[in-house]
Structure 1
Amino acid sequence: MRTGTFARATALSGAALLALTACGGSDEGGGTDDAASGEKQVNVYGTDGNMGNALGEDFSDEGALAGMRGTTPLTELSGDFTDRLLAVDPELQDYNYAGETYDAVILTALAAQAAGSSDATVFAPYLNGLTFGGETCDSFSACVEIINAGGNVDYDGVSGPLSFAEAGEPAQASFGILQFGEDNALDDAATDFVIAGDEANAATDEGPAYAAPGATGDPLVIGTLLPLTGNLAFLGPPEVAGAQLAINEVNEAGGVLGQPVQLVEGDSGDASTDTATQTVDRLLQSNVDAIVGAASSGVSLTVIDTITGAGVLQISPANTSDQFTEYNDNGLYFRTAPPDTLQARALADLIAEDGNNTVGILAINDPYGTGLAENTRDNLIAGGLSEDSIQYVTYDPQAANFDSEVQQMVDFNPDAVVVIGFEESSRIIQGLNAQGIGPQR
């Protein structure tokens, strides 16, 4: 999960390559020596779970995060799309995962129209095929026009071309490389983009034949399970805005099955509460056909069986844990965010390109953190680093402090430190700063 301020891109949620240079890049040996202080240069890397303006709000000293870079699932968003989002929520500061949430709603609506049914067990088999192989379209209205003309749809969303693999997830994704400025906010001008994965790995089965053009039926009801509270609450506003914008535009284009799509909103909280369980129970009692969310992989793992077991489609805009790729979901779980296998590949490439020879990884002990950390470690080893040149430490996000974990990084003395976590990352980075190995030294 991840994703930052992402003013020109779609972000949030779980990942790709992450590099945060504290005060500049490493030399070929992996780390430079400061001539004045004799201190070793340590590069710090962040991920989609912490690379956002919300992180900077926890730092009062100017430049405390300056130069820190990281990555998140992100594509360059058009000014038109961000303007449309701001019309829904004028207070938006970040756009993380707004595009992925928008696309999740659009794909769900298109699948129901193509199937001629609002029953998720009927329309779910159509969803993968809507992302490849047909006539390209980039809006609900344009895609429905193709469906009604008897054509085949290839929806290219605002979050990218999508091109789902058989597991119902992107085979290729764009990642943004973000950087904090002297004001501890993300510097939009410094954002770069990289691609990980391969569209050639997309599924080939385009699904069942479309229903008759202009098919009508029972109204499609979509619920949301998005973080309004908890450690991913900073992702909530852009995701909520993305979902509402999509609903608005679907209904402006005539709705689905001849009726307006209905939206039932809900809070996911985080994995330390039972908020998601209570919300899912309420959404199912409201007879939703699909649930968009959760953002957190850990939260989704607590409710996926309940949702898919009820015959309801779940489509997450921000789950990145690779556990979902082969999860027994009755064919009813999808995600518009890429799996961490792609993020880890890009992250490892960046770490290597920066010339780091030793790497410390501090990861939150949940499916997102451990999955991304382990995949990153494996990619670093495959790229030539030895196992003993990588130190991997997990932490409990509810711990009173992270002194022990920070000290392990100090003792290891690596060229680079990767912090994979959520809001608690600010305390970890403050600890690294205090020890002279964080962004502010």
Structure 2
Amino acid sequence: MRTGILARSAAISAAALLVLTACGGGGDDEGGTGGGGDAASGEKQVNVYGSDGNMGNALGERLSGEGALAGMKGTLPLTELSGDFRDRLLEVTPDLVDYNYAGETYDAIVITALAAQMAGTNDANVFKAFVNGVTVGGDKCEDFASCLEIVNGGGNPDYDGQSGPLSFTDAGEPAQASIGIQQFGPDNRIDDSATRYVLPGDEANATTDEGPAPAPAGTTSPEPLIIGTLLPETGNLAFLGPPEIAGAQLAVNDINAAGGVLGQQVQLIQRDSGDTTTDIATQSVDALLQAGANAIIGAASSGVSLTVIDTITGAGVAQFSPANTSDQFTTYNDNGLYFRTAPPDVLQAEALADLIIEDGNNTVGILALNDPYGTGLAENVANNLQSAGLAEGDIQSIIYDPQAANFDSEVQQMVDFNPDAIVVIGFDESSRIIEGLNSNGIGPQR
């Protein structure tokens, strides 16, 4: 059985030494029952896990029962954001509840701005060749102002931003990524004191191509760089909108405070992405293209991005997602114009599977919504669990329709399977699934 990234991450920080116990049971449970059993009562304790689509305080707000999520763990692309960065996000949006993907959104805009500055043009078909190189080689820098100094000095910046060590691959995505492991407390909110971080992936897989020679220092443009956002203000990922939108605004504020791009202040145009059940994203993309956007930041949902990527990249505009994780984008025919600061599911799946194994679970049920994100992450988690030593029959994956009237059938299949652990990969409908698990005695609530 492999050691796993969770064990290997012990040297990253003292936080990695924490042993989190989900729902009263785990790999180190005092009763020695393995798989989350309760030795005192004889009742089997099922450990429940989530992923980035539902690991946020917004999930707890939809569940009213005391301790409805207590001990539920999960993974999500997450960096240990500095207090200063959080404070500056709160200056933009004072009522922020979560910070999910705020750093990734901020970094997507900074990288775009640096690439345009180095290319000497706002034309995405030109500056796309500089994007990956901004994240590797050269001189380290951690904000737009210091990176701009390197560019103006004729050097190549190696930007490590708010979302961690970026180091893009040739496909325009992180070779290594910071994944947060979080846990809900008895108040149905994320217990920040229990959060820890791991770094799946390998920086050695990053590109070695630092890009073309940059434009001469001092190059200017008669037109401003126009960045549009396609982020969720409505729909089943609306809870991700506020931190992403705050990250976008803060990035543009910082870039413009440092002098802007090519002698012009960057313009930001914000539009709603909606979700896959609406036509909002298509309408928003049309509006952004008509407004002259050079790059579009978003969407958050992989499914939404798949509906608009051809329109965006076909128009010669860059698309840069802070939250897409579907593996489909790694090899998508995007004319070299699609990038993401969020890691592909192969990296999150490794962290999630290692967490499940670390907790001593021997049988695992997976409930995943039927979209590119849900099915892709479910498959990758299952593959990683098998690589860790579980047999194919120890894992049962159930793919559900997120628009279904109820999830009684799927919950009953989990009851019948009677696993040690259940993974819920979904969005806001996860609250109804967890209510069903709780009512059947196999959820986090006890």
Give the conservation status (yes or no) of the 8 Å contact 1:318–1:337: yes
Matched, 1:344 2:345: no
Distance 2:371 2:180 in 1: 23
Give the conservation status (yes or no) of the 8 Å contact 1:291–1:312: yes
> Structure 1, residues 176-229: CA drift from partner, whole Å, max 9, x if none?
111111111111111111110010000111110010012101210000000000
1:34, distance to aligned residue in structure 2 (A): 2.9
2:412 to 399, 407, 410: 407
Q: Which amino acid aligns with 1:95?
A: Y
Distance 2:171 2:354 in 1: 25
Q: How does 1:3-42 map to 2 (within 5 A)?
A: 21-26=22-27, 30-35=34-39, 37-42=41-46
Aligned to 2:233: 228
Aligned to 1:305: 310
The alignment's TM-score, normalised by the length of structure 2, stands at 0.93
1:70 to 71, 74, 88: 74
1:37, distance to aligned residue in structure 2 (A): 4.2
Count of aligned pairs: 423
- Of residues 376-385 and 104-113 in structure 1, the stretch that sits farther from structure 2 once superposed is 376-385
Matched, 1:86 2:87: no
1:59, distance to aligned residue in structure 2 (A): 1.6
Q: Which amino acid aligns with 2:234?
A: T
Aligned to 1:366: 371
Give the conservation status (yes or no) of the 8 Å contact 2:25–2:35: no
Q: Which amino acid aligns with 1:248?
A: N
Distance 2:25 2:386 in 1: 24
1:260, distance to aligned residue in structure 2 (A): 0.4
Paired residue secondary structure (2:263): coil
> Structure 1, residues 261-296: CA drift from partner, whole Å, max 9, x if none?
011110000011110000000100111000000000
Distance 1:353 1:241 in 2: 35
Q: How does 1:134-145 map to 2 (within 5 A)?
A: 134-145=138-149
1:36, distance to aligned residue in structure 2 (A): 5.2
Aligned to 1:250: 255
Aligned to 1:95: 99
> Structure 1, residues 20-48: CA drift from partner, whole Å, max 9, x if none?
82222146764244345432111111001
Aligned to 1:357: 362
Aligned to 2:287: 282
Paired residue secondary structure (1:176): strand
Paired residue secondary structure (1:143): helix
The alignment's TM-score, normalised by the length of structure 1, stands at 0.94
Distance 2:218 2:95 in 1: 38
Distance 1:105 1:273 in 2: 26
Distance 1:375 1:36 in 2: 35
> Structure 1, residues 151-197: CA drift from partner, whole Å, max 9, x if none?
11100111011000010000000111111111111111111111100
1:61, distance to aligned residue in structure 2 (A): 1.9
The 3 A distance-change label for structure 1 pair 404 and 20 is farther
Matched, 1:158 2:162: yes
Matched, 1:314 2:319: yes
CA RMSD of aligned residues (A): 1.2
Aligned to 1:4: none
The 3 A distance-change label for structure 1 pair 23 and 255 is same
> Structure 1, residues 51-83: CA drift from partner, whole Å, max 9, x if none?
100000112122111111111101100011011
Distance 2:126 2:33 in 1: 57
The 3 A distance-change label for structure 1 pair 320 and 79 is same
1:384 to 365, 385, 389: 389
Q: How does 1:67-216 map to 2 (within 5 A)?
A: 67-216=71-220
Give the conservation status (yes or no) of the 8 Å contact 1:225–1:294: yes
Q: In structure 2, list runs of 5 or more residues that go unmatched.
A: 1-19
Paired residue secondary structure (1:393): strand
1:319, distance to aligned residue in structure 2 (A): 0.2
Give the conservation status (yes or no) of the 8 Å contact 1:317–1:335: yes
Aligned to 1:15: none
Give the conservation status (yes or no) of the 8 Å contact 2:175–2:202: yes
